[in-house]
Amino acid sequence: MMLPDDVTTVLCDLDGVVWLAHEPIPGSVDAIAAIRASGRRVVFVTNNSASTRAGQEGALAAVGIPAEGDVVTSAMAAARLVAPGDRVLVAGGPGVVEAAEEQAGSVVVNDGAVDPDGFDAVIVGLHRDFDYPRLAVAAAAVRAGARLIGTNTDPTYPTPAGLLPGGGSILAAIATAAGSEATVAGKPHRPMADLIHAVLGAPDADDVRRTVLMVGDRLDTDGLFAERLGCRFALVRSGVTTGHAATGADLDAADLAAVAAALGADPGNGGVA
């Protein structure tokens, strides 16, 4: 199946599409090069909030994918939900800290110690040192009036060894302990859609529908995000979603190389079919 020629921008998830734990999925690096060589823009849109922008760009460069200025993360979307001057508790990784500091300025990293000064917001993302004291401090801040913001609700993320707990699992624990619902920033939610809309130069709905393609490995994240944006969706079976059940996606493909082929971008021919 071929995709229409009028696709000019490919929004590409990372985990499960380009790589698994930073190990490139076979064919993905050449596929991105071919899509770009065909004259299309590739923007990497990830719910991974743990890494800084430079970290994400550096990891992509290390596998042969230049990406400076082309990475959009859920941490960036979450930071847009706080205001300059807000005091923010970050229950997340360096990517959330970086984005929150740029937006709010006053950031405290949750280390499990009680802070008597209070917070305006708690931003939650994936971090591997999450434990009971950190859970208690984050939940107490929310119960005291801080807004609860999640970078994403992904319960898992794919690795070569299988699925591991994702940032959504940590967010669920804090929300449950605090008795509160979170505002979620990442795919498929509105804050990430608003950020992508701004990154693309605020195109109108018809332009998005005709010219933008979202590529992802999760129907409940990437597929719904494409619906929210109003663009086409290509599902790849190289990450979370496997098997052969019908999905309703505009393209159901094995991997990113197959998506490139459907766009008429041939990795073996300089991006020209």
6 is catalytic: no
DSSP 27-86: THHHHHHHHHHTT-EEEEEE---SS-HHHHHHHHHHTT---TT-EEEHHHHHHTTS-TT-
- Gap between the Cα atoms of 209 and 6, Å rounded: 10
86 is catalytic: no
- Pairing type for strands 23-24 and 19-20 reads antiparallel
Q: For residue 240, give the H/E element and its range.
A: none
Amino acid letter for position 174 = I
Is-contact 104 86, C-beta < 8 A?
yes
Catalytically annotated residue among 5, 6, 13, 111: 13
- Gap between the Cα atoms of 249 and 138, Å rounded: 38
What are the beta bridge partners of residue 53?
none
The tokens for 252 are 């159901």
The CA angle 193-197-203, to the nearest 5 degrees, is 140
User: From the centroid of its chain, how far is CA 251?
Assistant: 20
Q: Which residue has the tokens 């499960």?
A: 16
Catalytically annotated residue among 15, 70, 86, 217: 15
The tokens for 28 are 């993905």
Catalytic residue positions, numbered: 13, 15
